[in-house]
Structures are given as C-alpha cells and as structure tokens.
Amino acid sequence: MSKVVKFGGSSLASAEQFEKVGKIIRSDKERRYVVPSAPGKRFSEDIKVTDMLYSCYALAEEGKDFSKELEAIKERYNGIIEGLKLKLSLDDRFEEIKKQFAAKAGKDYAASRGEFLNGIIMANYLGYEFLDAAEVVFFNEKGEFDAAKTDAVLSERLQTMSNVVVPGFYGSNPDGSVRTFSRGGSDITGSIVAKAAKVDVYENWTDVSGILIADPRIIKDPVGIEVITYKELRELAYMGFNVLHEDAIFPVRQMGIPINIRNTNAPMDEGTWIVGSTCQKSKYTVTGIAGKKGFCSINIEKDMMNSEIGFGRKVLQAFEENGISFEHVPSGIDTMTVFVHQDEFMHKEQKVVSAINRLAKPDVIEIEADLALIAVVGRGMKSTRGTAGRIFSALAHNNVNVKMIDQGSSEQNIIIGVANEDFETAIKAIYDIFVSTRL
C-alpha cells in the first residue's frame, strides 16, 4: 500500500507543528508522498506566510522597498529550520525570490513561494526527495489545469522516486512561468499526486478531526461524520459545506481512491472517510446538514400550465437571457417557482420579469426575497420512512414556516426553503430531531 499525505498551513506553522507532522509520517511507511502547504497562523493574531508574500510583492509591484517584509518572511522559515535543528540555508532561495520580485514575476509566483520553501524544509527534515510542482503540474494557454499532461509527466517522475515531497498550490504555464490554483490550493495538488501515484489512500491532515454533521457556528459541538460518500459530500458542498473543493475531489474520485480527513493535533482520531460507495450504514438517518442564506423565489402562475408544452423552457430562458443561474425549480399543476441568488437577481429583476411576461405570458408573477435554503443529506434517508415528516414536525415545533421543499429522485437529499431569519433555528431543529434525539 501507499498513501499521499497533505498537510494544511496550521499543521506546518511552526517547528513544533513540523515535529508533529514528522511523527505522523514516520509512524507509517506507507506515507510516501507528502504535499505541504505554506506555514499558516501560529496564533490567532498571526499572519499566514502566503499573505505576507502577497503584501511583500505588492510593494515590489509599486516599485517600493520590500526588503524589510521579505526579511520577516525569511525569519519565519529560519525559525522553523532552527527549531528543527536542520543544517539548511535558504539564503540562495531568498536571493532568487528577491530578484524575481524586483523583476515583477507575478502574484502567482509570489504566492507559490510559501509552499515551495516549506517543501524544501519538509524534504530536508524527512530525508525525502524534493520535486518542484512547477516541473510536473501544468496549465494550458487558457490558464486551465492540464490534467492529461500533468498525469502523464507526474506519473513517470514518481515511478523513479520512493519517498517524495511535492509542494502544493501551484504549477507552471506553457511558457514556464508559475501559476497557482484559483481555488482548492494544496488540496488539489494532493489529489493530483494521489491519482498519478495510484495510491491506496489520500490522507488530508488539517486542524479538525474530520467533517462535522453541521456548522459548529450554529450547532455547539456537532457530531463528526465517520463515513461520507462523494455524492453526499457534493450535495452538501453545493450548499456551503466548506470541506474540500470539488476540484480537489474529482481526480481521486475518478480512480476510486478514498480520502481520509485527519487532525494533525489529534492523530489517533480516525477522522472522516470520503468514499465512492459503502455498505456501512450511517450512524444517523442524515449524514450532514448545510445551508445558505440570500435567495429569492420567483413564483409564476398560469392556468393549464401543465398542458402547455415548453412553458418551463420559456420561463428559464428569461433567466438565461439575463445571465442568471437558477438553484431549484419546484412546480405544481399551475405553478412554477424559480429560486435564485438574491444578489445576482435583484439588479436585473425587472428585466427578468419582463422577459417572463414576453416569453411565457403567465397570469401572475410574485417575488419573495430574504430566503435561505437548507440541504438535509444522507444515504440512510432512502431506507428510512417518514424522514420528510420528521423534518416538518421539527420545524413546526420550532415555529419555522417552510417556504419550499424539494426532494431529489435519489432520495438522498431534501432541500428546504425558509426565511433568512429562521435559518439557524431550522438547522438546530433538524439536527436535534435526527442527531440529538437519534430518531
């Protein structure tokens, strides 16, 4: 077996954190491929190295002296090196960075140096080989990730390496210049390396022991999720579940490689497993609860709508013409409701209304603002009777008025619309009925 291990910025913020990471990696010889992030915050008021690099480069772009800021970044890394008692100097690397900043090499180059330098330290500390991501991760002329070229080149290089560190977050353009991932950062690199190396597991180490059923800002000490499928995670991520970006999941999902979310500060915790499919039953009926505020609904009514061929297409065309994407479209015999993001819609609402009238000729159009959508997701829902009834009962008991309910054909998710002001109350009520009381 073999594993890719990716460590986030908080896991590598100091020499003490590096030592924790070193113990984790050395405790399992299968952890052969390491993907580090740049050093994160050491304490709440601290500044991430990536942000320090952005600020430093901004001065360089303006033609101002940035030597003091660059020296502060160098001190952060030297503090880690000295704390680990390594015989390593980054002086030449910082001289090169200074030259590139002065030559205005670009924000992507500047930001990527955080991972680049941390990768060098990590390789030196572990005794692993160092592989610069710019040599094996590629973007095309349009700035899009070139998956085919990357997989071919990276796979070939990794075949000759038994233990290697590949810094996350960046790759290179066709002209050789550095480019960073716009979203997902080092998580994406970890997934790319996992696919190319054809590993058995992708371990993603962070500062939490896996994924939680609900937002801890709303639910105090929510229960963790033991196993979640890619499909469930995608449904929850769509509603704001902030775990891994979709781009960080796709490469390993293609290969059927499971992801294990672990806690660097609590390495004995099993964390959360993200898998393609599983026969394991959920501990609770629901796997996760997530949601977002800031939606509005456009309710369209027309007699005999159900017998008018193309009515739905005409309504949605009005949104397409104005560059607005829709979230959900529940409908009845003579009604159709379109849910959209309020901030996208509000400045174009009258154009959309005019287009609906012109294209679909409805009897009535009504708009309701300040709505929230909540996704209740779980593979256990399919085999459990009365799930929707329990949700309605919990919400009614807490005086929450349901504006909309929409269930997917897979029976793994139910979307509920409520007023913004009822958002937190609704999530607490749903969590309580399915988790706290374990119904």
Pair 382, 229: CB distance under 8 Å: no
d(CA 130, CA 16): 22
d(CA 120, CA 81): 11
Our measurement of the distance from residue 179's CA atom to the centroid of its chain's CA atoms, rounded to an integer in Å, reads: 19
Pair 237, 190: CB distance under 8 Å: no
Residue limits of CATH 3.30.2130.10 in the chain: 288-436
d(CA 394, CA 245): 31
Decide: pTM greater than 0.75: yes
* Residue 405: CB atoms within 10 Å: 15
Q: What letter would DSSP give residue 393?
A: H
Residue type, 341: H
What's 288-436's CATH class?
alpha beta
What does each of the 439 residues of the chain score in pLDDT, given as a tens digit? 899 999 999 999 999 999 999 999 999 999 999 999 999 999 999 999 999 999 999 999 999 999 999 999 999 999 999 999 999 999 999 999 999 999 999 999 999 999 999 999 999 999 999 999 999 999 999 999 999 999 999 999 999 999 999 999 999 999 999 999 987 688 999 999 999 999 999 999 998 888 999 999 999 999 999 999 988 888 888 787 777 777 788 889 889 999 999 999 999 999 999 998 888 777 888 999 999 999 999 999 999 888 899 999 999 999 999 999 998 898 888 999 999 999 999 999 999 999 999 999 999 999 999 999 999 998 878 777 888 889 999 999 999 999 988 876 667 889 999 999 999 999 999 999 999 875 4
**What sign does the dihedral 109-115-118-119 (CA atoms) show?**
negative
Residue limits of CATH 3.40.1160.10 in the chain: 12-199
What's 12-199's CATH class?
alpha beta
| Token digits of residue 58 | 């901004």
Our measurement of the distance from residue 110's CA atom to the centroid of its chain's CA atoms, rounded to an integer in Å, reads: 23
d(CA 292, CA 404): 14
Q: What letter would DSSP give residue 288?
A: E
d(CA 136, CA 157): 8
